[in-house]
Structure formats: C-alpha cells, structure tokens
Amino acid sequence: MTDADRVRIAVAIARSGRASRRGAEVLIREGRVAIDGEPTTDLSLRVDPDRQRITIDGAPLAKSEALRYYALNKPRGVLSSARDDRGRTTVVDMLPRNAPRCVPVGRLDLDSEGLMLLTNDGPLVSGLLHPSSEVQRVYLVEVTGVPSGDQLDRINDGLVSEGEQLQAKPARSRRPGRTLKSGRVTSWITLTLHTGRKREVRRLCEAIGYPVVTLRRVRFGPLLLRDLESGGVRPLSRREIRLLRRAAGLGGDATEVGP
C-alpha cells in the first residue's frame, strides 16, 4: 500500500456518499468510525478504502464513487447550483445521466455564461476555492460604451464597491462591438481576476460607468473554454485534472478517475 493510494478518512467517507466531509469529521470525533475493526478519532489518519475495511456504527462503508471531472459551457438562465427548490434548471441537471453526485466549483450568476467545472472531488473543490490558491479566472465582457484607458486603469488599480476592495487586470479585446436597439454601441474587454466575489465583474464595470451586456467566463485556472458549445459538457483529460490539482495545492494525480 503506497501513500498515493491513501486519503484522509473524512475524504473516504465523503466520497462514499455517507456524509459530507464536515459531517464525516463529526462522526470520527464521536468515535463512530472504525478501520479494520479499530475505532479511531484521528482526523489526520489516511486510509486506502479499497484495501481497508471502514465501518460507521459497525456498518461497512459503501464503495467510493469514482472521481469525475466535467467542463460545462453554462448558458444564460441556468443556475450554477446543485439543486433549486423552485425546479429551475441547474448546471448539475446538464451532466450526463450516469454522472455521480457532482457540485459546481464556484458560481456564475443567472445571466452570465461560460466555463464551469463540476466534480465530486471534495478536496479539489476546497483547494480551488480557498483564497490562498488565487486561482486565475478570465472573463470576456461586452460593455455598453467604450471605456477609456484611464477608466481601465481604475479597474487595474482597484476600487471600492459595496464596501469591498475589487481589482482586476483589464485588456481590450479585438472582438467587434455592436449597436444596441437603444442606439448605444458596445465594446469587449477581458478581465482577469484571482478572486470569486459575488457579481465582481459586473460591479467593477458598473463602478466605472460601463454596464455589462454579456459576461462569459473563458478560463478557470488552467482550464480553458475553447470551442465547447453553449450547454455542452465534456470530461476533463488527465492532464487537465493534474494541472487543476496542482493549482489547488494537491500533489499528484487523482487515484480514482472514472471514464
């Protein structure tokens, strides 16, 4: 048994679907988890679920689901959440029918579109979303009007919106603008951010007086949207998974990647 085969006990429980990672930690602290018949309260313990018998209250843990990783080009009008009490379409609804329980990594608001990552790899989700990872996010943004260089410099230097300090690296796009029904023209810019605050791109553009017309995420860390059609879903390559794990501060490859 090698270290590469082992995961933290709470991760093994979460992957089985028995409890969330936090819920698993509670079960471990309460002494309800045993490894090969030996109870444990050690949250740092690493196990190999394929070779060791893990039980909760004496009942064996279900076999862990194979890890899955999907890229989705989210259309407008689709919620970037796992479920919706009002029955609206979510990004999880767009996954293949045989996909295990996956969650979106971060969010795009209802009127935004573009690249989203969905996975059942809990440590990867946590690592990518942790502020210390500073995962790069790139957005292609159509705005009303044509911002001047000075106005783009304001975004680059940072500004305050709703009591929060926001900042992004802006660049002009060669993509041509258009004339709206109102008669106003649009232009395109790209914004590169390392944070995922709520409506951050829209707030930055509104703060300099250029409201967003179209907002599309085209990159998340090493993952690129490329030519994935709107509403399209594809599994990630092993190289993409390896690069994402590196961006999240997780060494090596995932050990249970499904087809």
Residue of 48, 50, 109, 157 marked active site? 109
Give 193's contacts (C-beta < 8 A, 6+ positions apart). Answer: 136, 137, 138, 139, 167, 168, 169, 200, 201
Choose among 178, 205, 167, 165: nearest CA to 189. 205
227 — phi, psi (to 5°)? Answer: -105, 25
| Residues 79, 61 contacting (CB under 8 angstroms) | no
Handedness of CA 246, 251, 252, 255 (dihedral sign): negative
Q: Is 36 a residue of the active site?
A: no
- Lookup result for tokens 């444990």: 40
Instruction: Point out the residues that are catalytic.
Output: 109
